[in-house]
Structure formats: C-alpha cells, structure tokens
Structure 1
Amino acid sequence: MSQVLTLWKKTSALPQGARIFSVLFAQKAPYFATIRPRFVDIRPNHAELVIPKRRRVHNHLGTVHAIALCNGLEAAMGALAEATIPADKRWIPKGMEVSYTAKATSDITCVAETDPEQWTSLPDAGGDLPVRVRGVRDDGTVVIEGVIRLWVTPRK
C-alpha cells in the first residue's frame, strides 16, 4: 500500500484526522496549501477533496478562481495516483484539459477517478493514462470538468 493511502487510513480514523492528513499532504506539495484542501475520501481509483470558498481563492466576480479549481483537481488526481499506482510504476502529470461549465459560487468538491483496468492495461514501457476530474458546487452543479493525463512508466 502506498504511503499516501497508508497515511490516509491512519489519520482518517482519528478525530480531525482528515484535517491532519490534508495539512500533511499540503506540506509535501506546498503549493496545494494555497487552496486549503480538505480531503474527504481517498481510495484506489478515487479521490475527493473540498476547496473552501474563501476570499483568498476568489476572482474578481467573488467566485472560486479557475486556477484554484485546477489546483484542487490536480491535488485530487495526485492523491488518486499515489493511492492507485502499482509499486513498480511511477507517474508524472503530462497535461490538463478542462472546461469551465458554471460559476463556482460555493465550496467546491474536487473529484478524480480512474478505472482499475486503466492501470493494468498499460504497456510495459509505460504510457498515457487519463484521469477524469470534475469540480462540483454544493448544489450538485458541475463547475469544471476534464481530464488530467499522466505519463506512467516503470520505476527504475
């Protein structure tokens, strides 16, 4: 089991454990701290976090800024990748394609998902792996959706 998944399982069982995990995750990749992610769920092929709507992540319209949304999607994707990738592989983000579909007027839940066969059907030399991502308002409206492409190769 990956370090991220092990840490999630240990901390999420504690009072305030999800908050503890979220702070530790953001320390590993400090830029993620700018959105104050609150992880909700991490398991193989799925990760969710919440970006709190607060002034620090607002744009000129008073909604959550598009790049803050992308930051949340990338954090969710990273947790998913770490929780899912086989021990003999490594990953790096290759690109992101997103569409902004509605105003982000509340806290935003960022979700990253893959299918198990995506990880097992990769060529031995490595390959491209698309991770589906979306951000959802409190009322269920999708405000951003897209794909983050990973380059997955054998660990050397």
Structure 2
Amino acid sequence: MDVLTMYRQVTRLPQGHRVFSRLFTLKAPYFGTVRPRFVELRPNYAELTVRKRRAVHNHLGTVHVIAICNGLEAAMGALAEASVPRTKRWIPKGMEVRYTAKATSDITCVAETDPGQWAGDDPDVPVRVRGVRDDGTVVVEGVIRLWVTDRPVR
C-alpha cells in the first residue's frame, strides 16, 4: 500500500494520526528518534510536529536544529511518496537550511512542492521546507533537493 493511501485510511480511525506516524517510523526507523506526529499529508504538502522534549534538546534547552532537520526530512519523504508519479522514483541529494531563530517550543515541520515539478523532464526537484515555532516564527528554512528519475521497467 502506498503512503498516501495508508494515510487516508488510517487517519479516519480514532488516534489515526498517531497510528500513521508510528507506522511511518516503522518503515523508516531513524525518524523515530524525533517522534514525528503527522498533521496533514497530501500531494505536494506534508506537515508534522516535533515535540519539544528533553531527548531533542541542545545545550540551550531548545530543540536541536538537527532534530528539526530530521523532522523536515521526514515531512519531505512523506510528501515525495505522496506526490511522485508511479512511473518515477526519487532519492534526496542534498539539504540546504538556514537557522533563523531559537526553537523554544514544539516545531511544526512543513514540506511543499508545486504539482508541475513532478511532471517535467528535469530530474532536480527542490522541496521547500520550514520549521515553525508555536508563535509562528520560522526557526529553520531551506530546500531539500531530490533526484527524480524514471523507474526501471521490469
């Protein structure tokens, strides 16, 4: 079952967002380190929350930027799975981020693309990402670049 179909089915259930988030981290275990909680997933958009808790704190007591980057990459991965045409495959090839403010609350991680980005011949697909505090302040923003190519015919 593909990620978007699973999201749509599981999130209809009680505690569905929590269940989907757990299933996602079972498929990609490293993301479990930040315990992402998916809020929304649709083609070209993914949103999740990384809670401010001691396990993701830095020496200042704020959410460590690498934990936020892990949340951003999880959002990007879900977005890519929900957006890429069935005839194509993707792999991340780089991340460029700027740290713009202290992460003093839970962080909402958002990944976005435009529909036309998946349809062209250009294999370079930039995914816009940002991490946002509860008060709306952007704490991390940037781009994760994907390499999107045709899926081999079997």
TM-score category by the smaller chain?
Answer: over 0.9
Q: What pairs with 1:20-39 in structure 2 (closer than 5 Å)?
A: 20-39=19-38
Amino acid at match of 1:138: D
Listed as ranges, the gaps of 5+ residues in structure 2 are none
Compute the displacement of 1:13 (Å). 0.6
What residue number does 1:101 align with?
A: 100
What residue number does 2:138 align with?
A: 142
Compute the displacement of 1:31 (Å). 0.5
Deviations 1:52-105 (A, max 9, x none): 000000000000001101000000000000000000000000000000000000
Identity of counterpart residues, as a percentage? 74
Structure 1 vs Structure 2 CA RMSD: 0.8
What residue number does 2:75 align with?
A: 76
TM-score (norm 1): 0.96
What residue number does 1:132 align with?
A: 128
What residue number does 1:111 align with?
A: 110
TM-score (norm 2): 0.97
Q: How many residues align?
A: 152
What residue number does 1:50 align with?
A: 49
Matches of 1:84 and 1:128 in 2, distance apart?
Answer: 14
Q: Secondary structure at the match of 1:27?
A: helix
Q: Secondary structure at the match of 2:60?
A: coil
Listed as ranges, the gaps of 5+ residues in structure 1 are none
Matches of 1:155 and 1:118 in 2, distance apart?
Answer: 17
Amino acid at match of 1:56: A
